[in-house]
Protein backbone atom coordinates (compact mmCIF):
# COMPACT_ATOMS: atom_id res chain seq x y z
CA UNK A 1 0.00 0.00 0.00
CA UNK A 2 1.32 3.41 -1.00
CA UNK A 3 0.58 6.97 0.01
CA UNK A 4 -0.30 8.76 -3.23
CA UNK A 5 -1.00 12.44 -3.80
CA UNK A 6 -2.80 13.31 -7.02
CA UNK A 7 -2.38 16.88 -8.24
CA UNK A 8 -5.32 18.06 -10.34
CA UNK A 9 -9.04 17.43 -10.19
CA UNK A 10 -9.80 16.50 -13.83
CA UNK A 11 -7.99 13.41 -15.17
CA UNK A 12 -6.48 13.27 -11.67
CA UNK A 13 -9.90 12.53 -10.15
CA UNK A 14 -10.43 9.68 -12.61
CA UNK A 15 -7.05 8.14 -11.76
CA UNK A 16 -7.64 8.64 -8.03
CA UNK A 17 -11.05 6.92 -8.16
CA UNK A 18 -9.65 4.08 -10.29
CA UNK A 19 -6.75 3.60 -7.87
CA UNK A 20 -8.91 3.79 -4.76
CA UNK A 21 -11.55 1.39 -6.04
CA UNK A 22 -9.11 -1.24 -7.33
CA UNK A 23 -6.25 -1.01 -4.81
CA UNK A 24 -5.60 -0.37 -1.15
CA UNK A 25 -3.68 2.87 -1.50
CA UNK A 26 -4.08 5.97 0.63
CA UNK A 27 -5.15 8.65 -1.85
CA UNK A 28 -5.36 12.43 -1.62
CA UNK A 29 -6.47 14.75 -4.42
CA UNK A 30 -4.93 18.22 -4.30
CA UNK A 31 -6.12 21.16 -6.36
CA UNK A 32 -4.76 24.68 -6.71
CA UNK A 33 -8.36 25.86 -6.96
CA UNK A 34 -10.18 26.00 -3.57
CA UNK A 35 -13.62 26.23 -5.27
CA UNK A 36 -12.93 22.98 -7.09
CA UNK A 37 -12.15 21.13 -3.85
CA UNK A 38 -15.18 22.71 -2.13
CA UNK A 39 -17.48 21.60 -4.96
CA UNK A 40 -16.04 18.07 -4.94
CA UNK A 41 -16.59 17.85 -1.15
CA UNK A 42 -20.13 19.19 -1.46
CA UNK A 43 -21.19 17.09 -4.47
CA UNK A 44 -19.21 13.91 -3.82
CA UNK A 45 -18.09 14.06 -7.45
CA UNK A 46 -16.33 16.31 -9.95
CA UNK A 47 -19.60 17.38 -11.57
CA UNK A 48 -18.10 19.58 -14.24
CA UNK A 49 -15.39 17.25 -15.54
CA UNK A 50 -16.46 13.78 -14.48
CA UNK A 51 -20.23 13.79 -13.89
CA UNK A 52 -21.61 10.56 -12.49
CA UNK A 53 -18.31 9.26 -11.10
CA UNK A 54 -18.66 9.17 -7.31
CA UNK A 55 -15.60 10.12 -5.28
CA UNK A 56 -15.37 7.58 -2.44
CA UNK A 57 -15.33 9.10 1.08
CA UNK A 58 -11.96 7.46 1.72
CA UNK A 59 -10.24 9.77 -0.80
CA UNK A 60 -8.99 12.91 0.96
CA UNK A 61 -9.40 16.29 -0.72
CA UNK A 62 -7.08 19.21 0.00
CA UNK A 63 -5.59 22.49 -1.19
CA UNK A 64 -2.57 22.06 1.11
CA UNK A 65 0.63 20.79 -0.51
CA UNK A 66 2.01 19.74 2.88
CA UNK A 67 0.23 16.44 2.16
CA UNK A 68 3.20 15.63 -0.11
CA UNK A 69 5.54 15.47 2.90
CA UNK A 70 4.39 11.87 3.50
CA UNK A 71 3.79 10.76 -0.07
CA UNK A 72 5.50 7.82 -1.75
CA UNK A 73 4.30 9.00 -5.15
CA UNK A 74 3.12 12.37 -6.46
CA UNK A 75 0.96 12.13 -9.56
CA UNK A 76 0.76 15.26 -11.71
CA UNK A 77 -2.46 15.46 -13.76
CA UNK A 78 -2.56 19.11 -14.69
CA UNK A 79 -2.31 20.93 -18.02
CA UNK A 80 1.30 21.36 -19.14
CA UNK A 81 1.03 25.16 -19.01
CA UNK A 82 0.82 24.97 -15.17
CA UNK A 83 3.39 22.23 -14.58
CA UNK A 84 6.50 24.35 -14.03
CA UNK A 85 4.82 26.69 -11.52
CA UNK A 86 3.26 23.77 -9.69
CA UNK A 87 6.65 22.03 -9.49
CA UNK A 88 8.10 25.13 -7.80
CA UNK A 89 5.37 24.91 -5.15
CA UNK A 90 5.84 21.17 -4.73
CA UNK A 91 9.66 21.35 -4.40
CA UNK A 92 9.91 22.29 -0.68
CA UNK A 93 7.72 19.29 0.22
CA UNK A 94 9.31 16.60 -1.91
CA UNK A 95 11.54 14.02 -0.21
CA UNK A 96 14.53 12.83 -2.29
CA UNK A 97 13.69 9.70 -4.27
CA UNK A 98 9.92 10.22 -4.25
CA UNK A 99 8.37 8.96 -7.48
CA UNK A 100 7.00 11.77 -9.66
CA UNK A 101 4.42 10.39 -12.05
CA UNK A 102 3.35 12.71 -14.82
CA UNK A 103 0.03 11.92 -16.49
CA UNK A 104 -0.07 15.20 -18.42
CA UNK A 105 0.57 15.37 -22.15
CA UNK A 106 2.22 18.38 -23.66
CA UNK A 107 5.37 20.29 -24.54
CA UNK A 108 6.27 23.54 -22.79
CA UNK A 109 5.03 26.13 -25.26
CA UNK A 110 7.72 28.81 -25.01
CA UNK A 111 10.80 26.63 -24.50
CA UNK A 112 9.73 23.58 -26.61
CA UNK A 113 10.90 21.41 -23.69
CA UNK A 114 9.42 18.00 -23.05
CA UNK A 115 7.80 17.57 -19.64
CA UNK A 116 10.61 15.21 -18.52
CA UNK A 117 13.01 18.14 -18.97
CA UNK A 118 10.77 20.55 -17.06
CA UNK A 119 10.52 18.07 -14.15
CA UNK A 120 14.28 17.39 -14.23
CA UNK A 121 14.92 21.12 -13.96
CA UNK A 122 12.37 21.85 -11.24
CA UNK A 123 12.25 18.63 -9.18
CA UNK A 124 15.64 16.94 -9.59
CA UNK A 125 15.21 15.21 -6.22
CA UNK A 126 12.27 13.16 -7.59
CA UNK A 127 12.43 10.04 -9.77
CA UNK A 128 10.51 10.76 -12.96
CA UNK A 129 8.04 8.43 -14.65
CA UNK A 130 5.56 9.38 -17.37
CA UNK A 131 2.19 7.61 -17.50
CA UNK A 132 0.75 7.82 -21.00
CA UNK A 133 -1.38 5.96 -23.53
CA UNK A 134 -5.05 5.82 -24.57
CA UNK A 135 -6.87 6.69 -21.35
CA UNK A 136 -9.85 9.03 -21.43
CA UNK A 137 -10.75 10.19 -17.92
CA UNK A 138 -14.44 9.39 -18.55
CA UNK A 139 -13.53 5.71 -18.99
CA UNK A 140 -10.68 5.37 -16.44
CA UNK A 141 -12.97 6.77 -13.71
CA UNK A 142 -15.51 4.03 -14.50
CA UNK A 143 -12.94 1.21 -14.50
CA UNK A 144 -13.45 0.49 -18.19
CA UNK A 145 -10.56 -1.75 -19.36
CA UNK A 146 -7.62 0.47 -20.23
CA UNK A 147 -3.93 -0.03 -20.91
CA UNK A 148 -1.16 2.53 -20.57
CA UNK A 149 2.63 2.76 -20.38
CA UNK A 150 4.83 3.84 -17.46
CA UNK A 151 8.08 5.08 -19.00
CA UNK A 152 11.18 6.00 -17.04
CA UNK A 153 14.95 5.90 -17.18
CA UNK A 154 14.69 4.30 -13.75
CA UNK A 155 13.57 0.68 -14.15
CA UNK A 156 12.89 0.52 -10.40
CA UNK A 157 10.50 3.46 -10.51
CA UNK A 158 8.73 2.16 -13.64
CA UNK A 159 8.22 -1.26 -12.00
CA UNK A 160 6.92 0.44 -8.85
CA UNK A 161 4.31 2.35 -10.87
CA UNK A 162 3.39 -0.84 -12.71
CA UNK A 163 2.99 -2.60 -9.37
CA UNK A 164 0.99 0.16 -7.70
CA UNK A 165 -1.33 0.99 -10.63
CA UNK A 166 -2.05 -2.38 -12.26
CA UNK A 167 -5.50 -3.81 -11.58
CA UNK A 168 -7.92 -6.22 -13.30
CA UNK A 169 -9.13 -3.29 -15.43
CA UNK A 170 -5.98 -1.16 -15.71
CA UNK A 171 -2.97 -2.76 -17.40
CA UNK A 172 0.38 -1.00 -17.20
CA UNK A 173 3.30 -1.77 -19.50
CA UNK A 174 6.74 -0.34 -18.86
CA UNK A 175 9.12 1.30 -21.32
CA UNK A 176 12.45 3.12 -21.05
CA UNK A 177 11.97 5.39 -24.09
CA UNK A 178 10.76 8.42 -22.15
CA UNK A 179 11.22 10.86 -25.05
CA UNK A 180 9.31 8.66 -27.51
CA UNK A 181 6.45 8.06 -25.09
CA UNK A 182 6.18 11.76 -24.23
CA UNK A 183 6.33 12.86 -27.87
CA UNK A 184 3.62 10.40 -28.91
CA UNK A 185 1.33 11.57 -26.09
CA UNK A 186 1.86 15.25 -26.82
CA UNK A 187 1.80 15.21 -30.62
CA UNK A 188 -1.26 13.03 -31.07
CA UNK A 189 -3.23 16.04 -29.82
CA UNK A 190 -1.97 18.04 -32.81
CA UNK A 191 -3.18 15.35 -35.19
CA UNK A 192 -6.49 15.06 -33.27
CA UNK A 193 -7.13 18.76 -33.89
CA UNK A 194 -6.60 18.07 -37.61
CA UNK A 195 -8.89 15.02 -37.49
CA UNK A 196 -11.55 17.21 -35.85
CA UNK A 197 -11.12 19.90 -38.50
CA UNK A 198 -11.56 17.23 -41.17
CA UNK A 199 -14.80 16.06 -39.49
CA UNK A 200 -15.96 19.66 -39.10
CA UNK A 201 -15.39 20.26 -42.81
CA UNK A 202 -17.54 17.23 -43.57
CA UNK A 203 -14.67 15.18 -45.01
CA UNK A 204 -14.74 11.43 -44.60
CA UNK A 205 -13.10 8.47 -42.90
CA UNK A 206 -10.53 8.29 -45.71
CA UNK A 207 -9.34 11.80 -44.90
CA UNK A 208 -9.09 11.02 -41.20
CA UNK A 209 -7.18 7.79 -41.82
CA UNK A 210 -4.80 9.75 -44.06
CA UNK A 211 -4.21 12.37 -41.37
CA UNK A 212 -3.67 9.75 -38.66
CA UNK A 213 -1.27 7.63 -40.69
CA UNK A 214 0.74 10.45 -42.19
CA UNK A 215 0.56 12.24 -38.83
CA UNK A 216 2.17 9.24 -37.18
CA UNK A 217 4.93 9.32 -39.81
CA UNK A 218 5.83 12.90 -39.01
CA UNK A 219 5.70 12.23 -35.26
CA UNK A 220 8.13 9.37 -35.85
CA UNK A 221 10.41 11.62 -37.90
CA UNK A 222 10.60 14.15 -35.06
CA UNK A 223 11.09 11.27 -32.62
CA UNK A 224 14.05 10.00 -34.63
CA UNK A 225 15.60 13.46 -34.58
CA UNK A 226 15.20 13.60 -30.79
CA UNK A 227 16.68 10.13 -30.29
CA UNK A 228 13.58 8.04 -29.56
CA UNK A 229 12.98 4.50 -30.77
CA UNK A 230 10.77 4.17 -33.87
CA UNK A 231 8.86 1.17 -32.54
CA UNK A 232 7.67 3.20 -29.53
CA UNK A 233 5.35 5.06 -31.92
CA UNK A 234 3.67 1.84 -33.03
CA UNK A 235 2.69 1.16 -29.41
CA UNK A 236 0.08 2.38 -26.95
CA UNK A 237 1.69 5.78 -26.45
CA UNK A 238 1.86 6.50 -30.20
CA UNK A 239 -0.61 4.68 -32.42
CA UNK A 240 -2.86 3.67 -29.50
CA UNK A 241 -3.31 7.20 -28.20
CA UNK A 242 -3.61 8.58 -31.73
CA UNK A 243 -6.53 6.26 -32.48
CA UNK A 244 -8.42 7.11 -29.30
CA UNK A 245 -7.88 10.85 -29.58
CA UNK A 246 -8.73 11.16 -33.26
CA UNK A 247 -11.91 9.08 -33.11
CA UNK A 248 -13.54 9.79 -29.74
CA UNK A 249 -16.00 12.51 -28.78
CA UNK A 250 -14.30 12.55 -25.35
CA UNK A 251 -11.32 14.26 -27.02
CA UNK A 252 -11.35 18.00 -26.45
CA UNK A 253 -8.69 18.40 -29.14
CA UNK A 254 -10.92 16.72 -31.69
CA UNK A 255 -13.97 18.71 -30.54
CA UNK A 256 -12.06 22.00 -30.84
CA UNK A 257 -10.93 20.92 -34.31
CA UNK A 258 -14.52 20.21 -35.35
CA UNK A 259 -15.51 23.76 -34.35
CA UNK A 260 -12.60 25.17 -36.36
CA UNK A 261 -13.64 23.07 -39.35
CA UNK A 262 -17.16 24.48 -39.00
CA UNK A 263 -15.78 28.00 -39.24
CA UNK A 264 -15.20 29.02 -35.60
CA UNK A 265 -12.08 31.11 -35.02
CA UNK A 266 -9.35 28.83 -33.49
CA UNK A 267 -8.88 30.88 -30.30
CA UNK A 268 -12.67 30.98 -29.75
CA UNK A 269 -12.92 27.23 -30.34
CA UNK A 270 -10.28 26.59 -27.69
CA UNK A 271 -12.02 28.96 -25.26
CA UNK A 272 -15.30 27.08 -25.79
CA UNK A 273 -13.84 23.61 -25.25
CA UNK A 274 -11.42 24.20 -22.32
CA UNK A 275 -8.04 22.48 -22.04
CA UNK A 276 -6.91 21.85 -25.65
CA UNK A 277 -3.28 20.81 -25.26
CA UNK A 278 -2.85 20.37 -29.04
CA UNK A 279 -3.35 24.09 -29.62
CA UNK A 280 -0.22 24.98 -27.62
CA UNK A 281 1.62 21.80 -28.56
CA UNK A 282 1.26 22.65 -32.25
CA UNK A 283 3.25 25.82 -31.62
CA UNK A 284 5.98 23.87 -29.80
CA UNK A 285 6.00 21.01 -32.33
CA UNK A 286 6.34 23.46 -35.21
CA UNK A 287 9.22 25.11 -33.34
CA UNK A 288 10.92 21.73 -32.81
CA UNK A 289 10.42 20.82 -36.48
CA UNK A 290 12.19 24.07 -37.45
CA UNK A 291 14.95 23.57 -34.89
CA UNK A 292 15.73 20.00 -35.95
CA UNK A 293 14.93 20.54 -39.63
CA UNK A 294 12.27 17.82 -39.67
CA UNK A 295 9.55 17.82 -42.31
CA UNK A 296 6.17 17.93 -40.52
CA UNK A 297 3.67 19.09 -43.16
CA UNK A 298 0.49 18.37 -41.18
CA UNK A 299 1.80 20.17 -38.10
CA UNK A 300 2.89 23.06 -40.29
CA UNK A 301 -0.51 23.27 -42.02
CA UNK A 302 -2.25 23.30 -38.63
CA UNK A 303 0.17 25.95 -37.36
CA UNK A 304 -0.81 28.20 -40.28
CA UNK A 305 -4.51 27.67 -39.51
CA UNK A 306 -4.18 28.23 -35.75
CA UNK A 307 -1.69 31.09 -35.72
CA UNK A 308 -1.65 32.68 -39.19
CA UNK A 309 -5.34 32.67 -40.12
CA UNK A 310 -4.82 30.26 -43.03
CA UNK A 311 -8.02 28.95 -44.60
CA UNK A 312 -8.65 25.36 -43.49
CA UNK A 313 -9.70 24.04 -46.92
CA UNK A 314 -6.64 25.61 -48.52
CA UNK A 315 -4.47 24.07 -45.78
CA UNK A 316 -5.83 20.61 -46.61
CA UNK A 317 -5.23 21.28 -50.31
CA UNK A 318 -1.58 22.21 -49.67
CA UNK A 319 -1.15 18.78 -48.06
CA UNK A 320 -2.72 17.01 -51.05
CA UNK A 321 -0.65 19.04 -53.52
CA UNK A 322 2.74 18.14 -52.01
CA UNK A 323 5.33 16.52 -54.34
CA UNK A 324 4.74 12.87 -55.20
CA UNK A 325 6.98 10.55 -53.24
CA UNK A 326 7.63 7.09 -51.78
CA UNK A 327 5.54 6.31 -48.69
CA UNK A 328 8.60 5.70 -46.54
CA UNK A 329 10.83 8.49 -47.82
CA UNK A 330 12.69 10.17 -44.94
CA UNK A 331 11.74 7.40 -42.52
CA UNK A 332 13.81 4.32 -41.94
Site residues, ligand NAD (CB under 6 A): 8-11, 31-33, 36, 49, 77-80, 82, 86, 103-106, 135-137, 274-275, 277
| ∠ Cα 142 200 321 (to 5°) | 125
**Among residues 8 and 266, whose Cβ is nearest to ligand NAD?**
8
Tell me which DSSP letter residue 146 carries: E
CB burial string 162-195: b at 16+ within 10 A, e below = bebbbbebbbbbbbebbbbbbbbbbbbbbbbbbb
Q: Which is nearer to ligand NAD, 132 or 224 (CB)?
A: 132
Which residue lies nearer to ligand NAD by CB, 78 or 315?
78
Q: Name the active-site residue from 49, 105, 188, 208.
A: 188
For 138, left (φ over 0), alpha (ψ -120 to 50), or beta? alpha
Active site residue 105: no
Q: Within 10 Å of residue 291's Cβ, how many Cβ atoms?
A: 10
Q: Residue with the closest Cβ to ligand NAD? A: 10
Beta strands per DSSP E along the chain = 3-7, 26-30, 60-62, 73-76, 99-102, 127-132, 146-151, 170-175
Rounded CA-CA distance 324/332 in Å is: 18
Task: Tell me whether residue 77 or residue 312 sits nearer to ligand NAD (CB atom).
Answer: 77
CB-wise, 52 or 274, nearer to ligand NAD? 274
CB closer to ligand NAD out of 8 and 235 = 8
Long-range CB contacts (within 8 A, 24+) of 207-210 = 207/316, 208/246, 208/247
Between strands 146-151 and 26-30, the pairing is unpaired
Strand, helix or coil at 101?
Answer: strand
Where b means 16+ CB within 10 Å and e means fewer, 49-83 reads bbeebebeeebebeeebebbeebbbbbbbbbbeeb
CB of 98 to ligand NAD, least distance (A): 19
Least distance to ligand NAD from the beta carbon of 168, Å?
A: 20
* Catalytic sites, residue numbers: 188
Amino acid sequence: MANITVLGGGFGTALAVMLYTTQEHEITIWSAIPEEIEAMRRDGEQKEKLPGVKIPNGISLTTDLAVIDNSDLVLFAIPSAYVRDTCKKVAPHLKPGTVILNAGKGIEEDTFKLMSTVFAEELPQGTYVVLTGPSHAEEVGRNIPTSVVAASSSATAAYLVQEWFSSPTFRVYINDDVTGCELGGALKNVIALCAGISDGLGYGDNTKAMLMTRGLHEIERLGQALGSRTNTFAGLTGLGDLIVTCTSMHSRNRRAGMLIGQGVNPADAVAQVGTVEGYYCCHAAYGLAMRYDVEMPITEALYRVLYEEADVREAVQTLLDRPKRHEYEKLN
